[in-house]
Amino acid sequence: MAPNALLRSALLLACCAASSWVHAALPIQHWTQPSGARVYLVESHAIPMVDVQIDLDAGSRRDPANQAGLASVMAGQIANGMRAHPKAQGPYAPAMDENQIGEAWADLGASFGVSAGADRLSFSLRSLSYPDLLDKAVALAARQMAHPAFTEAIWLRDRERLSASIRESLTKPGTQVQHRFASAVYGTHPYGYRSTPESLLRISAQDLQNLHAKALQTCRATVSVVGALSRAQTDALVQGLLSQWPRESGCKPLPPVVEVSPLVEAKNLNIPLDSAQAHVLIGQPGYKRSDPDFFALLVGNHILGGGGFVSRLTEQVREKRGLSYSVYSYFSPGLHAGAFTVGLQTRPDQAAQAVTVAKDVIQAFVREGPTGAELQAAKSNLMGGFALRIDSNRKLLDNVANIAWNRLPLDYLDTWTQQVERVSVEDIRRAMARVLQPDRMVTVVVGTQP
């Protein structure tokens, strides 16, 4: 059977196996390799598949201020070619262009990706676990991670495309409101950086090579694995994936990144734009992922605006007044205080009223907290939906990578529902009052009437 057909069969098996995953305990094995790479494994033998994620502290929070987008660009260019390397062996040793790389992955029926978020540079691999296929996928991924070409001509070609895409997106109210909001909430912190055609012009292929060389250090790698492998097999897989990374002597600490500064006063930005809908974002810096009140804030936000049609914001803004079809709130905790955001769209002539109502809801919730009935409904909803968070290899990998990156307890998934159940009305009221300052929030409205 061809690799692609095998992959389709494995995915069908995954649907049948999902129910067994969500009721079983999820023991996470963890160890550190001699290179310093930290490995986290959940064995899942129901289907012959392996998912891997490698995370490094090389996300956009480390972009230079005048080169916003550098990490993201570097991640995107890794798929555009591999250079030949004297120590590379096997069928993937020669130089390969972007088309040859794509064909090689298609032939294996496997996939490989690279992305850069605010905190992390991430490599991901998905392959069937049959040794003849997995060994080849590991070899190709190792080459692609370690020896990208970063060809100047290809980067200049893609830079024009990216710049054109950014210019086009900036004509849209949704993009404008996001950019203005991030700038106002984060100030000069890298979390607020956004790529522009000007910042891309300051990035060269040499800059991409330099960042890549600096990022790939095995002693800083956090590797999460979910799939049909034993611990010994996983250890060998990780060694193979990292085998062509530079060998560093020692692991010097990375320079610290400044924290997000709290807002000292309210900011109101009204941007006139000819638009059928006014786009509204309200918020402030929130909290770090390491905050001890994480679960109280998670449950509290579910009640405030994260629970869809049963949230307070939806009840007051949509149901009672018909000011918006959708209104929501969320926190974005990271290594630094990610934003607390309330978002909605409404008719331009209703924007002022919608903002007033949303702010009143936030103010009352921070002051009073939830009712007992609201808390119980939120707990039931969150705990009842927990199984959907881990009902596939990919979702389970996302959770394991979250545990690994944030140094959470290995039994985090096993105790998640108990942590939610322990949250009290007073926990939420206290945590929300500590984190949120309704009188010092940013309000951005794009699409107001001139």
* Position 182 pLDDT exceeds 80: yes
- pLDDT score at 19: 39
Residue 207 lies in a domain: yes
* Position 252 pLDDT exceeds 90: no
**Domain of residue 185, residue span:** 3-241
C-alpha closest to that of 52 among 119, 140, 148: 140
* Position 16 pLDDT exceeds 50: no
Rounded mean pLDDT of 332-349? 98
45 and 131 assigned to the same domain: yes
* Position 127 pLDDT exceeds 70: yes
Segment 393-405, tens digit of pLDDT: 999 999 999 999 9
179 and 272 assigned to the same domain: no
In terms of pLDDT, which residue wins out, 429 or 85?
429
Which pTM was predicted? 0.92
Q: What is the mean pLDDT of the chain?
A: 93
232 and 280 assigned to the same domain: no
The tokens for 254 are 């990375």
283 and 205 assigned to the same domain: no
Residue 255 lies in a domain: no
Residue 69 lies in a domain: yes
- pLDDT score at 36: 94
* Position 24 pLDDT exceeds 50: no
235 and 308 assigned to the same domain: no
- pLDDT score at 384: 95
Residue 249 lies in a domain: no
187 and 332 assigned to the same domain: no
* Position 248 pLDDT exceeds 80: no
* Position 20 pLDDT exceeds 50: no
320 and 208 assigned to the same domain: no
401 conformational bin, left if phi > 0, alpha if psi -120 to 50, beta if neither: alpha
- The DSSP call for residue 297 is H
231 and 279 assigned to the same domain: no
* Position 13 pLDDT exceeds 90: no
The tokens for 44 are 């899942």
Confidence of residue 422 (pLDDT cuts 50, 70, 90): very high
Kindly report the CATH number assigned to the domain that includes residue 310.
3.30.830.10
283 and 172 assigned to the same domain: no
Percentage of the chain with pLDDT > 70? 94
* Position 339 pLDDT exceeds 70: yes
278 and 212 assigned to the same domain: no
279 and 400 assigned to the same domain: yes
211 and 350 assigned to the same domain: no
Segment 26-53, tens digit of pLDDT: 799 999 999 999 999 999 999 999 999 9
